Chains A and B, each alone.
Chain A
């Protein structure tokens, strides 16, 4: 029986990706070796510790430019009009089915309005590249192609995409990254929408079969000189000195495991991105067929 057969029957005949390898330490019982007040899982504590030690990350609160965010016009990004009250209602109404909206609980009301408009507008950047995604989830995405947007844990373990229909495989580049603070995330988005390079893409004449090319904007342009401190990421370890090979081997390892075979390639290994200083934020676009316009499909930090 293949992995997908088991999935249809609600069973899983593949090993969980966390059984072997160095990441196994991330998945022990949550009540083991933790101080009494620890509320994180062992895996989350492990990932955060590595991110602090190897990535130099310290959780910090971004000072939201609330007046500026209050002026953000969702229509400029082809998003539905959203008021402050409407955003609060939206989050309450949808938080059970769309748990990433819990990110809005820690956001300023102005940032919450932007996040709610993004969610209602169909983009997926806030689901995979924002603070709702824990360090552990980001780490596992890079290592095992587990999609944080996939709410079915069995499907997530099998690398099935949580946004695309028909159980398509999830894809991830060599690096999985996020902006760790909701106000920083909303600020980056709002400022990008008015950035000339992004604006040019959004304002292109609509073509129902095409879309604008990727655009990148320096993190510092969107979040200021310390903006890189609000970004974290996990990157595959090269194999035989090659990241290209590492990505190919990751696919092979996951395919072997899904088919119930003993992988004959090394388990994927990841480590925190050491710094985002000097980095950029990537923007990819998609068609908004109803509005006959383009919108931001996703955005994510990319290190140098």
Chain B
């Protein structure tokens, strides 16, 4: 049976990034506005991890586990990198990737 990446690998690499992106950006329940609001929370531990994993994935998309990101989110950007770049822009605007 199909299973969800973050259930199979709750402590796996990029599990929070993939889970949050799927919850808000899967085509069947797309809700970017809510994710933008959520991303503004600086005191939210899950969103801190999410941002950190997004930054890490953008620095080196080859570190993402196989096709798990696309298989979960089913984005139509064509590549993990294109999707992640757009996501960073949507959520954090012009904030530099290298900021800590």
Contacts and interface: CB of A to CB of B under 8 A. Distances in A.
Co-complex (A, B): yes
Interface of A: 171-174, 209-214, 216, 218, 244-245, 247-248, 250-251, 278-280, 282, 284, 286, 297-298, 300, 302-304
Contacts of A250: 76
Contacts of B30: 171
A216 B22 CA distance: 13
Given A286-B29, A304-B1, A174 B74 contact: yes
A212 B38 CA distance: 13
Interface residues of B, number: 27
Of B2, B28, B75, most buried by chain A (CB within 10 Å of CB) is B28
B76 A279 contact: no
A214 B22 contact: yes
B78 A244 contact: yes
Nearest to B30: A171
Interface in B10-24: 19-20, 22-23
A210 B41 CA distance: 11
Interface of B: 1-4, 6, 19-20, 22-23, 26-31, 34, 37-38, 41, 67, 70, 74-79
Given A213-B4, A250-B76, 6 more contacts: A174-B74, A209-B38, A213-B20, A298-B29, A304-B1, A304-B2
Contacts of A251: 76
Nearest to A210: B38
A244 B74 CA distance: 8
25 contacts: A171-B27, A172-B28, A173-B27, A174-B74, A209-B41, A213-B6, A213-B23, A214-B22, A214-B26, A214-B29, A216-B4, A244-B70, A244-B78, A244-B79, A245-B78, A247-B74, A247-B75, A248-B76, A248-B77, A279-B1, A284-B28, A284-B29, A297-B29, A300-B28, A303-B2
A227 B18 CA distance: 29
A278 B41 CA distance: 39
B27 A216 contact: no
Contacts of A210: 34, 38
Contacts of B1: 218, 278-280, 304
Nearest to A282: B28
A32 to B, nearest CB: 34
Contacts of A280: 1-2
List 4 A-B pairs, minimum CB-CB distance, nearest first.
Answer: A248-B78, A171-B27, A284-B29, A173-B74
Of A212, A214, A245, most buried by chain B (CB within 10 Å of CB) is A214
Contacts of B41: 209
B6 A209 contact: no
B76 to A, nearest CB: 4
A216 B74 contact: no
A278 B34 CA distance: 33
A185 B2 CA distance: 20
Contacts of A304: 1-2
A247 B73 CA distance: 12
Contacts of A247: 74-76, 78
